[in-house]
């Protein structure tokens, strides 16, 4: 595996690559969720590039950029084991040199709600770094997790709007046996908080039951039941519950087709998100 740390070396290495290039952008501190994306890329592409970069531009003031977990040596060993061809580990200084002032911003309903409302600047930071990484790596395919449902849709929108010749591949959420979605931020949880965090995936199971078994059709009613459940859950501070159109992410009123249920909450010092598509 080649470990590339500068932008110029990445361009050089890319120019020499042949065949279909699959790319998995990550912030490192890898877990089975990341590895599922990497394995999918490995199965579908001749060359696999994975980036490890904790992107300061997608963290707001007072968020967890400084203490975001990092373990580069472990990440590189994992990538090696997955037969990744290139690990791209750029520096903040090179990605955001002094004077950096160009931003990619997806606007409109897709970006304004949910994470866009709770974390101002976050999605702009994501779109900007992903476009920069796309230019440097020039992949044919890029792999993203459904775990970050809004991010995935923002990237699809940007890729289409800016005519990038890249296929965006969505991969299912990988969960712990008890339902908790894997996340690098789960390390923030104490053993008690880890128990409390189960409420998120449980609330999604509740939504599934209300809609599919009880036949509830009023989205507001389902939303209210999930809010009640999460507000009563010990150790959980609710941010939002949304029943959204799976593509546009606009809030639905009547449930008449597939609906994406999204939840965000704080558990201890960790802000957690989860979602499920109810068919
Ligand atoms: P991150 O390192 O958190 O920026 O995530 C990098 C990529 O891994 C993103 O496309 C995430 O959606 C994806 N990812 C993170 N957690 C999971 C998970 N539990 N299951 C599937 N994909 C995930």
pLDDT at 67: 97
Pairwise CA distance, residues 112 & 135, whole Å: 26
Note the pLDDT of residue 270: 97
pLDDT at residue 146, rounded to an integer: 98
Segment 174-213, tens digit of pLDDT = 999 999 999 999 999 999 999 999 999 999 999 999 999 9
SS3 for 272? Answer: strand
**Count of residues making up the chain:** 279
The rounded Å distance from CA 95 to ligand 1 centre is 21
pLDDT of residue 236: 98
Give the per-residue pLDDT at 57: 98
Mean pLDDT of 77-94: 98
E strand or H helix at 111: helix 109-112
Please report the pLDDT score of residue 84 as a whole number.
Answer: 98
CA distance 30 to 74: 8
Which amino acids are annotated catalytic? 34
DSSP per-residue letters across 149-207: HHHHHHHHHHHHHTT---EEEEEPPPB-TTSPBP-GGGGG--HHHHHHTHHHHHHHHHH
What pLDDT is recorded for position 52?
98
- The Å distance, Cα 206 to ligand 1 centre, comes to 24
Query: CA–CA separation, 140 vs 95, rounded Å?
Result: 22
Give the percent of the chain with pLDDT over 90. 100
The 10 Å CB-count burial string (b at 16+, else e) for 111-134 is bebbbbeebebbbbbbbbbbbbbb
| CA-to-CA dists, residue 34 to 121, 135, 181, 222, angstroms | 24, 21, 12, 31
List the beta bridge partners of residue 239. Answer: none
> N- to C-terminal Cα distance for the chain?
41
Instruction: Note the pLDDT of residue 189.
Output: 98
How high is the mean pLDDT of the chain?
98
Q: What is the pLDDT of residue 177?
A: 98
Nearest CA to ligand 1 atom 15: 33
**Cα separation of 30 and 75, whole Å?**
6
CB 150 near ligand 1, within 6 Å: no
Q: Is 37 in the pocket of ligand 1 (CB under 6 A)?
A: yes
Question: For residue 144, what is the DSSP state?
Answer: E
- Residue 259 near residue 244, CB atoms below 8 Å: yes
User: What is the pLDDT at residue 68?
Assistant: 98
> How does strand 47-52 pair with strand 21-26?
parallel
On the 0-12 / 13-18 / 19+ scale of CB atoms within 10 A, 246 is middle
Q: How far is CA 159 from the centre of its chain?
A: 16
Which residue has its alpha carbon closest to ligand 1 atom 6? 26
Domains of the chain: 2-171 (3.40.50.620), 184-274 (3.30.1300.10)
Average pLDDT over residues 241-257: 97
- Residue 213 Cα to ligand 1 middle (Å): 30
pTM of the entire structure?
0.98
pLDDT at 260: 98
Contact 2, 86 (CB under 8 A): yes
CA-CA distance, 60 to 238, in Å (whole number)? 19
Residue 61: per-residue pLDDT = 95
Residue 141's pLDDT band, with cuts at 50, 70 and 90, is very high
Q: Is 104 helix (H, G, I), strand (E, B) or coil?
A: coil
């Amino acid at each position: 595996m080649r470990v590339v740390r500068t932008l110029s070396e990445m361009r050089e290495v890319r120019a020499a690559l042949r065949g279909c290039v699959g790319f998995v952008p990550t912030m490192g501190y890898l877990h089975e969720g990341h590895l599922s994306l990497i394995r999918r890329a490995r199965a579908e592409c001749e060359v696999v590039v994975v980036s490890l970069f904790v992107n300061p531009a997608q963290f707001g003031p007072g968020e967890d950029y400084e203490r975001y977990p990092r373990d580069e040596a472990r990440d590189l060993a994992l990538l090696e084991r997955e037969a990744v061809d290139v690990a791209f580990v750029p520096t903040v200084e090179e990605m955001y040199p002094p004077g950096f002032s160009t931003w990619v911003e997806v606007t409109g309903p897709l970006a304004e709600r949910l994470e866009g409302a709770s974390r101002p600047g976050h999605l702009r930071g994501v779109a900007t770094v992903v476009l920069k990484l796309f230019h440097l790596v020039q992949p044919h395919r890029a792999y993203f997790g459904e775990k970050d449902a809004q991010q995935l849709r923002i990237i699809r929108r940007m890729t289409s709007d800016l005519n990038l010749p890249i296929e965006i591949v969505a991969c299912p959420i990988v969960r712990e046996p008890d339902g908790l979605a894997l996340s690098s931020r789960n390390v923030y949880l104490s053993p008690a908080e880890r128990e409390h965090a189960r409420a998120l995936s449980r609330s999604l199971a509740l939504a599934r039951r209300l809609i599919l078994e009880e036949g509830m059709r009023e989205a507001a009613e389902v939303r209210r039941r999930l809010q009640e459940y999460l507000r009563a859950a010990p150790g959980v501070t609710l941010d939002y519950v949304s029943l959204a159109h799976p593509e546009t992410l606009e809030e639905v009123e009547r449930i008449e087709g597939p609906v994406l249920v999204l939840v965000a909450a704080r558990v201890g010092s960790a802000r957690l998100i989860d979602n499920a598509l109810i068919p």
